[in-house]
């Protein structure tokens, strides 16, 4: 790709032509405060905290500004600092001061921006505080929407539109009363939301937050077992329990995205009803058995029912390769074409 050279705060860097100043900075390890930018989404330019000065005269936001050869960017120009500081102060004056009990504490973009800009108690005291008082939408079984913490970055709206193509949410009302909401501003469960949680995963603050989100002690790379797509997942583990799942951005299959089952349907792992060993029916009662014993029983029964008596129904939860094997097994070993798949519903 063609490269251009630009200067940010005196540092010369090379950046891909067509990228934005913010992307160029972040790719080179330089932080420019930002809230509404997300690498997966078209930049919207709404939070205005990524302002910079261009070529010593023009104020612009960096997240939508294309890099240009010879461009000179300042992120610490006094005018930039002033606009950025007011903008962040306005956000904080509008935000509940509940960080210590918040699920995003220490992992929050607003905190990061506020501490970078250097918001002080003194400066904040001058502002009139106004925190949005709206009921939390807790209708969804997996996540809550707390409008008081929403910074209206629009990332959730764009995620649902650009990545999921579902458009369950959009802006509703206007001015200070603007919120993210569904058609007719109904609870999210009464919308076409599929609970995929993609928006929740991208929300920079705790406005969209999973109902339960214990911080994990370690993460284990795995593959989702729900379907043949095989999305890469990272299982969050705490003690001996799986406490959370997130999409693996490095996995080429899903690049971080997940569906509702993969993201939220992990409780079966630690469920007491879950089968962890084969069961074989003896005298009408299912009893635990070894794999060898179970497979032998299956093989013995199968060999008595070859041909038209036999049919196999394959599952969407297994991989393509396994599905191939099943049809091969059905036709070659069981000698019948009675093979079907649950996805033919």
Partner 1 sequence: MTFAEIQAQANLEWEALNNGGRPQITVGTATCGRSAGAMAVVKAFEEELQAKGIDAALVEVGCIGPCYAEPLVNIKKPGWATVSYRNVTAEMAREIVAAFLLGDDPLAKYALGVFGEGEIAGIPNILSTPAFKPQERRVFRNCGTIDPTNINHYIANDGYIGLNKALGMRQEEVVDVMKRSGLRGRGGGGFPAGRKWEAGLKAKGTQKYVVCNADEGDPGAFMDRAVIEGDPHSVLEGMIIAGYTIGADTGYIYVRAEYPLAIRRLERAIQQAHEFGFLGQNILGTNFSFEIRIFPGAGAFVCGESTALTLSIEGKRGMPRVAPRPRTTEVGLYDKPTLLNNVKTFSSAPMIITRGAEWFASVGTEKSTGTAIFALTGKVQNCGLIEVPMGITLRDIIYDIGGGIADGGQFKAVQTGGPSGGCLPESLLDTPIDYDSLDAAGSIMGSGGMVVMDEKTCMVDVARYFLDFTEIESCGQCVPCRLGTKQLLDILKDICSGRGKPEDMDLLYELSHSVHGGSVCGLGQTAANPVLTTLRYFRDEYEAHINDRCCPAKVCKSLISYVIDKEKCVGCTLCAKSCPVQAISGEKKKIHSIDQALCVQCGVCLEKCPKKFSAIACVSPKVKQEES
Question: Using an 8 Å Cβ cutoff, are 142 and 127 in contact?
Answer: no
Largest CA distance in the chain: 87
Say how far apart CA 187 and CA 189 lie, in whole Å. 6
Q: Which two tokens stand for residue 309?
A: 């008596």
Q: Are 22 and 62 in contact (CB under 8 A)?
A: yes
Give the shortest CB-43-to-ligand FES separation in angstroms: 6
Alpha carbon distances (Å) from 217 to 103, 240, 343: 15, 10, 37
Report how far apart, in Å, the C-alpha atoms of 292 and of each of 180, 287, 289 are.
55, 14, 8
Gap between the Cα atoms of 196 and 180, Å rounded: 17
Among 23, 195, 251, 254, binds ligand SF4 (CB under 6 A): 195
Burial of 175 (C-beta count, 10 Å sphere; 0-12/13-18/19+): exposed
Among 149, 181, 247, 266, binds ligand SF4 (CB under 6 A): 149
**Is residue 339 at the binding interface for ligand SF4, with CB under 6 A as the rule?**
no
Q: How far is the CB of 86 from ligand FES (least distance, A)?
A: 14
Stretch that binds ligand SF4, among 60-68, 118-126, 145-153, 275-283 (CB under 6 A): 145-153
Is 108 in contact with 102 (CB distance < 8 Å)? yes
* Displacement of CA 82 from its chain's centroid (Å): 33
* Token pair in block for residue 235: 């299982």
Question: Residues in contact with ligand SF4, total (CB under 6 A)?
Answer: 38
- Considering only residues 204 to 223 of the shown chain, the ones binding ligand SF4 according to CB under 6 A are 204-208
DSSP count for the chain of H helices, then E strands = 9, 16
Cβ of residue 243: shortest distance to ligand SF4, in angstroms? 19
CB of 241 to ligand SF4, least distance (A): 25
As measured in angstroms, the least distance from the Cβ of 137 to ligand SF4 is 10
Residues 155 and 41 sit within 8 Å (Cβ to Cβ): yes
Partner that binds at residue 50, options partner 1, ligand FES, ligand SF4, none, CB closer than 5 to 8 Å by kind: ligand FES
At residue 295, the 3 state secondary structure works out as helix
The interaxial angle of helices 78-93 and 109-117, nearest 10 deg, is 130
Residues 78-97 that bind ligand SF4 (CB under 6 A): 95-96
Give me 116's structure tokens: 């970078």
Instruction: Map the footprint of ligand SF4 across residues 257-286, applying CB under 6 A.
Output: none
Identify what 156 binds: partner 1, ligand FES, ligand SF4, none; CB under 5 to 8 Å per kind.
ligand SF4
Q: Are 118 and 33 in contact (CB under 8 A)?
A: no
For β-strands 179-182 and 312-314, DSSP reports them as unpaired
Residues that bind partner 1 (CB under 8 A): 44-49, 51, 59-61, 64-66, 79, 82-83, 85-87, 90-91, 93-94, 126-128, 130, 151-152, 154, 170-171, 173-178
**Cβ of residue 174: shortest distance to partner 1, in angstroms?**
5
Of positions 33, 43, 45, 154, contacts ligand SF4 by CB under 6 A: 154
Q: Would you say 233 or 326 has its CB closer to ligand SF4?
A: 233
Given partner 1, ligand FES, ligand SF4, none, residue 60, with its beta carbon under 5 to 8 Å by kind, binds partner 1
* Residue 65's binding partner out of ligand FES, ligand SF4, partner 1, none, with CB under 5 to 8 Å set by partner kind: partner 1
CA angle 59, 63, 66 (to 5 degrees): 80
Strands ordered across the beta sheet of 11-16: 11-16, 3-8, 72-74, 51-54, 58-61
- Which of ligand SF4, ligand FES, partner 1, none is residue 6 near (CB under 5 to 8 Å by kind)? none
User: With CB cut-offs between 5 and 8 Å by kind, which of partner 1, ligand FES, ligand SF4, none does residue 93 bind?
Assistant: partner 1
Binding residues for ligand FES (CB under 6 A): 34-37, 45-50, 61, 63
Interface residue list for ligand SF4 (CB under 6 A): 95-96, 98-99, 102, 104-105, 108, 110-111, 149-156, 159-160, 164, 166, 168-169, 180, 193-199, 203-208
């Amino acid at each position: 790709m063609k490269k251009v050279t630009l200067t940010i705060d005196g540092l010369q860097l090379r950046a891909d032509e067509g990228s934005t100043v913010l992307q160029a900075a972040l790719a080179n390890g330089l932080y420019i405060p930002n809230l509404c930018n997300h690498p997966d989404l078209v930049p919207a330019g709404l939070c205005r905290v990524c302002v910079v000065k261009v070529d010593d005269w023009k104020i612009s936001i960096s997240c939508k500004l294309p890099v240009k050869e010879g461009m000179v960017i300042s992120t610490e120009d006094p005018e930039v600092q002033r606009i950025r500081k007011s903008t962040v102060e306005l956000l904080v004056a509008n935000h509940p001061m509940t960080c210590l009990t918040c699920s995003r504490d220490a992992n929050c973009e607003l905190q990061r921006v506020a501490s970078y800009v250097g918001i002080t108690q003194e400066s904040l005291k001058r502002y009139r505080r106004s925190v949005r008082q709206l009921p939390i939408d807790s209708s969804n079984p997996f996540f809550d929407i707390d409008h008081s913490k929403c910074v209206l970055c629009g990332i959730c709206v764009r995620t649902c539109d650009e990545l999921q193509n579902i458009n369950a949410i959009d802006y509703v009302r206007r001015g200070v009363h603007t919120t993210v909401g569904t058609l007719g501003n109904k609870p999210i469960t009464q919308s076409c939301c599929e609970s995929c949680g993609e928006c929740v995963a991208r929300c920079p603050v705790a406005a969209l937050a999973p109902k339960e989100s214990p911080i994990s002690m370690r993460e284990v790379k795995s593959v989702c077992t729900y379907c043949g797509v095989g999305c890469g997942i990272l299982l969050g583990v705490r003690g001996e329990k799986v406490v959370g799942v997130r999409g693996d951005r490095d996995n080429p299959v899903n690049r971080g995205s997940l569906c509702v089952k993969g993201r939220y349907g992990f409780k079966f792992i630690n469920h007491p009803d879950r089968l962890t060993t084969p069961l074989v029916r003896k005298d009408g009662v299912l009893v635990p058995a070894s794999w060898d014993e179970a497979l032998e029983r299956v093989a013995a029964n199968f060999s008595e029912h070859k041909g038209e008596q036999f049919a196999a129904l394959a599952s969407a939860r297994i991989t393509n390769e396994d599905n191939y094997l099943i049809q091969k097994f059905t036709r070659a070993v069981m000698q019948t074409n009675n093979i079907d798949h649950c996805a033919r519903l």
